[in-house]
Amino acid sequence: MGPEILRDISFHIPKKSFQFLTGPSGAGKTTLLRLLFMALQPTRGLITVFGKDRSLITQRELPLIRRKIGVVFQDFRLLDHMTTYENVALPLRVRGREEANYRSDVVELLKWVGLGERIHVLPPVLSGGEKQRAAIARSLIEQPQILLADEPTGNVDPPLARRLLRLFIELNRAGTAVVIATHDLNLMDQVDARRMVLANGRLDVHD
């Protein structure tokens, strides 16, 4: 068993809420997001996801619950053999949707995040910022009930960071709860939102 990264943490993410998860590098932000995304199991303690005890969720139920959660990974996790369009459409494709039914939605979303000209480009050709926007678009395509974004503006310049933030705010207005893990103070200062501060394995919530 490795070192204890998080302890005595208790919080609730309400529906349609907007919050930043912040703290110094190595504080455990990514670990906390992974716990929320059910990609990690806590060594002890209780996590309830959409009203269900995480430890009681079966492997068969996991993908169905994950479909309600959008995730933006710090390292983007785009598939290099698929175009930007195919990467963004992937969550719909794995649900068995017909391409004809979602094609225009995907193209529209790509245009909205500024990738309208990069639809047929493979990820290795994209810049860091473009990859980040493609990863964000993929997490939004199914209008999840909650969005977990790990440093979503870490690779973009300040104007684009502001634009992406507006995107998250609009998504939140549409009913999605948003958790943005970041240590970018300028970004957080732009929105009056709840701040969850992680330090030394403990969490302080500032409403």
Partner 1 sequence: MSTIESTLTRLKQARQQHTRRRQAPIVPAQNIAGQALVIVIAIMTFLSCLTLGAVTLVRDSANVWQTQIAREATIQIRPDEGVDMEAALAGAAGVAERFDGVSEISIVDREATARLLEPWLGSGLDIDELPVPRLVIVTIDESAPPDFAAMREALAAEVPSASLDDHRNWVDRLVSMARTTVTIGLGILVLMLSATVLTVVFATRGAMSGNGHIIEVLHFVGAEARFIAREFRRHFLLTGIKGAAAGGLAAIVVFILFGWWSSRNMATPEAAQATALFGNFAIGASGYAGVVLIVGLISALTAATSHFTVVMHIDKIDIGGADHG
Rounded (5°) CA angle 186-188-192: 130
Nearer to partner 1, 150 or 191 (CB): 150
Instruction: Say whether residue 62 binds partner 1 (CB under 8 A).
Output: yes
Among 18, 85, 102, 168, binds partner 1 (CB under 8 A): 85
Instruction: Say whether residue 183 binds partner 1 (CB under 8 A).
Output: no
Instruction: Say whether residue 206 binds partner 1 (CB under 8 A).
Output: no
Helix (H, G, I), strand (E, B) or coil at 204: strand
Instruction: Say whether residue 125 binds partner 1 (CB under 8 A).
Output: no
The residue count for binding partner 1 (CB under 8 A) is 40
What is the rounded CA–CA span in Å between residue 88 and residue 133?
10
Nearer to partner 1, 2 or 159 (CB): 2
Q: In angstroms, how far is the first alpha carbon of the chain from the final one?
A: 34
Among 5, 17, 66, 205, binds partner 1 (CB under 8 A): 66
Instruction: Say whether residue 46 binds partner 1 (CB under 8 A).
Output: no
| Dihedral sign of CA atoms 11, 179, 207, 23 in order | positive
Q: How far is the CB of 94 from partner 1 (least distance, A)?
A: 4
What is the rounded CA–CA span in Å between residue 7 and residue 35?
13
Nearer to partner 1, 108 or 204 (CB): 108
Q: How far is the CB of 191 from partner 1 (least distance, A)?
A: 25
Instruction: Say whether residue 93 binds partner 1 (CB under 8 A).
Output: yes
What is the rounded CA–CA span in Å between residue 181 and residue 150?
5
What is the rounded CA–CA span in Å between residue 72 and residue 76?
7
Instruction: Say whether residue 71 binds partner 1 (CB under 8 A).
Output: yes
Q: How far is the CB of 86 from partner 1 (least distance, A)?
A: 5
CA dihedral 98, 105, 162, 195 (to 10 degrees): -50
Rounded (5°) CA angle 115-102-82: 55
What is the rounded CA–CA span in Å between residue 110 and residue 108?
5
Instruction: Say whether residue 94 binds partner 1 (CB under 8 A).
Output: yes
Going by the DSSP 8-state scheme, the letter that residue 56 receives in this structure is: G
Instruction: Say whether residue 1 binds partner 1 (CB under 8 A).
Output: no
Binding site for partner 1 (CB under 8 A): 30, 34, 37-41, 59-60, 62-64, 66-67, 71, 73-75, 77-83, 85-86, 90-91, 93-96, 99-100, 103, 120, 138, 142, 150
